[in-house]
Amino acid sequence: MKPYIFITRKLPNDVVRPLLEKFEVKMWMYEDQTVPREILLAEAAKADALLTMLTDKVDEALLKTGKKLKVVANMAVGYDNVDIQAASREGIAICNTPDVLTDTTADLTFALLMATARRMVEAAEFVKDGKWQSWSPFLLAGQDIHHKTIGIVGMGKIGQAVAKRATGFDMNILYHNRSKNQEAEKELGAIYTSFDKLLRSSDFIVCLTPLTKETRHLFTREAFRKMKPSAIFVNASRGPVVDEQALYDALVSGEIAGAGLDVFDKEPIGQDHPLLKLSNVVALPHIGSATIESRTGMMRLCVENIEAILEGRPPKTLVNKDWQPGRGATL
């Protein structure tokens, strides 16, 4: 019997063709709807491999259900939706999609910073709403980006790619990370600082840290209070890294000047969410890596990782490095 693979969204046939040719494959029928939990559990129970999205909860219950499950390839670099320890205990390989999205996500993050600083969304709406009466000295005046200080929280590959873009704008680059990033320091002139100093000194605070137990609600009320009143906060990592009520209060009270948000505590964010009523908030629907090229690259990487594990080869991008093949998987 051929190994069985379940893919939790509708992906293009030409991208999943290598799997279709060798294995039995079923795809969830919608591109824009999450597979219901009961269906995911039922599929996991039968599957040798799952290709999941960041919207799927790959918890211990699901991993235990998958008696034949050998690999979960999660189509995201972030894997906070996956219980990594449980996967290792169960002998299931977890793979993610780093590298292929680094520059794309950095482009979007920097674009979001620029759009927020220069009030681009507000300005575009102003024109389309027919409100433009005349050129005027301070019409929709924003803040300079060049020669300012950017503070990057989470200096992994994407953080470093954002820092590289910042050098083109002659920015001073501060960063805070679990460990020092020597390459960013040497090649980009980035300076490591404490979280506290970064908050107090940066004009732009850019959050790119993964969501973990340690980073959940890292941006508290106190954190926003430490920022300059002119500061702009940008989040392109995960929503729960921020206390959203505290962010809202900071924006309304003028403790900070604006926010560019690609991610939210609950996604999709409701249209009536208070943050969306603020003109100093630019909100995007979690599209950091959303270019045709990057998303296709992420899909292909998932496909390659699944093929590798089911054919007894090491995967390209394994998350749980302590993985010991279980459930019939071999290396």
Footprint of ligand DGY on this chain (CB under 6 A)?
54, 76-78, 101, 288-289
Q: How many CA atoms lie within 13 A of 286 on its CB side?
A: 15
| Residue environment code for 275-305, b if the CB has 16+ CB neighbours within 10 A, otherwise e | beeeebbbbbebebbebeebbebbbebbbbb
Catalytic pick from 267, 293, 311, 313? 267
- Judged by beta carbon, residue 285 or residue 312, the one nearer ligand DGY is 285
The C-alpha atoms of residue 254 and residue 251 are separated, in whole angstroms, by 5
CA atoms within 13 A on the CB side of 91: 14
Report the alpha-carbon distance of residue 81 to residue 329 in Å, rounded: 23
Whether the link from the prior residue into 240 is cis, omega within 30° of 0, is no
Closer to ligand DGY by CB, 171 or 234: give it: 234
- Token pair 């001073």 in the structure block, residue: 172
Query: Residue 320 CB, nearest distance to ligand DGY (Å)?
Result: 17
Q: How far is the CB of 67 from ligand DGY (least distance, A)?
A: 28
Residue 301 Cβ, how far from ligand DGY at the closest point, in Å? Answer: 11
Q: Among 119, 165, 286, 295, which one carries the catalytic annotation?
A: 286
In the complex, minimum distance from the CB of residue 314 to ligand DGY, in angstroms, rounded to a whole number: 22
Query: Any catalytic annotation for residue 286?
Result: yes
Q: Which is nearer to ligand DGY, 108 or 308 (CB)?
A: 108
Catalytic residue among 119, 176, 238, 295: 238
Cα torsion 186, 192, 198, 202 to 10°: value is -10
Q: Residue 149 or 289: which CB sits closer to ligand DGY?
A: 289
Residues identified as active-site: 238, 267, 286
